[in-house]
Amino acid sequence: MSNTSGEERWVELAERYVLRCTPELFTAYGMAIEGKTSSRVSFDSDSLVGVAGFVGDVCGILSLRIDAAVVAACHPIQKDAAPNRRMLFDWTSELANQLVGRIKLRLGNHGINFRVSAPIALDGARMRFVGANGHTCRASFDTGTGDLDVWVDAELRKSVTWSEAFFRDDLSDPNVEGTVIFL
Amino acid sequence: MTTKKVMVVDDSHTVQALVSSAFANHGFSVICASDGMDAIEKLSMHDDVVLIFCDVNMPRMSGLEMVSEVKRMQKYVDIPVVMLTTEGRPELMRRAKEAGASAWIVKPFKPEQLVAVVKKLVERTG
């Protein structure tokens, strides 16, 4: 059993799966992305922010700030005309939803379970992210078309007793995305 | 000739559009609904839906609640329901199976997968 505290371990797991799952998700939509050293985040008029809240063993939010050009480039419905603003908002919220879902699946392996709210998308102009819970992890990525940033700001529920899986690093990846499972 | 109808239930308009485009050239028309309640209302207006794709986390009525409701109604009991979701926990899949769902796809999906699933499940049920 690790000597790491529950809170330290949670931050470690959150960072690990944000860094792993974000490139996996965008690659699935045909966009290669690379992690970049965190720098000042620009919330300008071209920024969109997808937000998904979650409640359970950990409670908090995942926020995805993303340049509108990136949302348009990875939009799955590619037509002659560029997607309009409403389509970009909808796709931004769905990307946040799919990202939190992908991370949730991996955290579930470690015995961390929670329910995800319906995602929303916001205009990123003049926004600022302020972590409320003090357990924030942030990762920034470059796509070549534009940047994106992911924040997880969440707090462990104090009453939870963690299983051995919470501290294990040798768990196999669920890797079920894109597969059809007949029930 | 009457085209067969597939329903997609998802609060994302992008996912609705993606499913619609997947079937554009395969002889199916697609009915879109934004949540479980909307789906049940629209099912009553289209009695020839052959399969339902359904998200799990939606406002008003979740996908699992919707499957339970639909399968309680005799006239819809034979319509296969495929969960199309970011969720992937075995416990949820077990509950979906108990409620009457036929398959589970974790997003992201490929459009051709949806067509293949419809052909398989619709052929199975005749």
Please state the domain count of chain A: 1
| B109 lies within 8 A of chain A by CB | yes
Instruction: Output the CA torsion B61→B64→B66→B69 (10° steps).
Output: -120
C-alpha distances in Å from residue A7, one per residue of A56, A116, A166: 15, 21, 11
**More confident position, A3 or B122:** B122
Which CATH number do you get for residue A99? Answer: 3.40.1550.10
ipTM: 0.90
In this structure, is residue A177 part of a structural domain?
Answer: no
C-alpha distances in Å from residue A88, one per residue of A10, A76, B14, B26, B102: 32, 11, 9, 27, 32
In this structure, is residue A182 part of a structural domain?
Answer: no
> Domain residues for A130?
6-167
Best of B106, B112, B120, B122 to substitute, by most chain A Cβ atoms within 10 angstroms, is B106
Q: How far is A75 from chain B (nearest CA, A)?
A: 8
Domains in chain B with CATH codes: 5-125 (3.40.50.2300)
| B13 lies within 8 A of chain A by CB | yes
- Residues of A within 8 A of B96 (CB-CB) are 183
Per-position b or e across A106-116, b if 16+ CB within 10 A of its CB:
bbbbbbbebeb
pLDDT of A3 higher than 70: no
Q: How confident is the model at residue B126 (pLDDT cuts 50, 70, 90)?
A: low
Residue B85 to residue A101, Cβ atoms within 8 A: yes
User: Could you read off the pLDDT of B64-74 as tens digits, one per residue?
Assistant: 999 999 999 99
C-alpha distances in Å from residue A132, one per residue of A15, A59, B31: 17, 11, 41
Residue B110 to residue A98, Cβ atoms within 8 A: no
In this structure, is residue A176 part of a structural domain?
Answer: no
What average pLDDT does the structure give for chain A?
89
Across residues A81-110, what is the average pLDDT?
Answer: 94
